[in-house]
Amino acid sequence: MAYQPIENYGIVGNMRTVALVGTNGSIDWYCFPHFDSPSIFGAILDDKKGGRFQISAGGEEVRHKQSYWPSTNVLTTRFLMADGIAELEDFMPAGLPSDSPQYHRLCRRIRCVRGTVRISVTCRPAFDYGRKKHDTVIEPNGVVFRSDGLRLALSTAAPLKDDGHGGVSAKFVLAEGKSQVFVLSDCAEGGAPCPPSEKEAAELLRGTVKFWHDWLSACTYHGRWRCKDQL
């Protein structure tokens, strides 16, 4: 893959870390679990060894568009093709207590808006800026990537295959109105958690949207108050 210009990236985050999402659906930068933690995906620096997590829709002459849900940090990447349209929603649940099971999660949902679309998925982490090796274990609920000092799980109902390079891949077709959910999270012990149902994923998205709306309203209110106080 060719390197993308920086303007092709959107940002999603939870106020503790962020992920850079390209218009091609690839997360090419993600430090976990904090801003100053070593990177898990770093293809923006090294396309071959940096690691990435890409979800994209295939077809001829695909056009890409990115936008945020109004007043939120929920990012939508659209894949526009002659025979179909797919939307990829990316967000990190925010405003949760540290003991919440949804804490430190990266959520991705790909859905078909129109027609029928072919979806390709690649998740190939590179722990500690690509310096640490890891094991890849495919399980019924997804896959677990085990490295020294850190275990990450990718939970999904999509059919995953070992790509032979430390990652997994998947190819499937979505009909209009159908979707697949992918959740990346830490798993200190045990296997990959059960992927959320469509209803659970929608509730998590609604909670995240509400958090950002409330946060923006609070910032706007306090900003106006400070401005008035200075007059």
The pTM assigned to this predicted structure is 0.92
DSSP codes, 5-64 = PGGGEEEEE-SS-EEEEETTSEEEEEESSSTTSPEEE-TTT-TTTS-EEEEEEE-TT-EE
Burial 170-205 (b: 16+ CB within 10 A, else e): beeebeeeebbbbbbbebeeebbeebbeeeebeebb
* Per-domain boundaries in the chain: 6-225
Residue 52 corresponds to which tokens in the numbers above? 């990435």
Torsion (CA) 209, 94, 103, 18 in degrees, nearest 10: 110
3-class SS at 91?
strand
Residue 161's φ and ψ, nearest 5 degrees, are -130, 145
CATH assignment, 6-225: 2.70.98.10
Contact 153, 160 (CB under 8 A): no
Q: What is the pLDDT of residues 172-229, one digit of tens each?
A: 999 999 999 999 999 877 789 999 888 888 888 999 999 999 999 888 765 554 444 4
Q: What is the pLDDT of residues 87-113, one digit of tens each?
A: 999 999 988 777 777 778 999 999 999
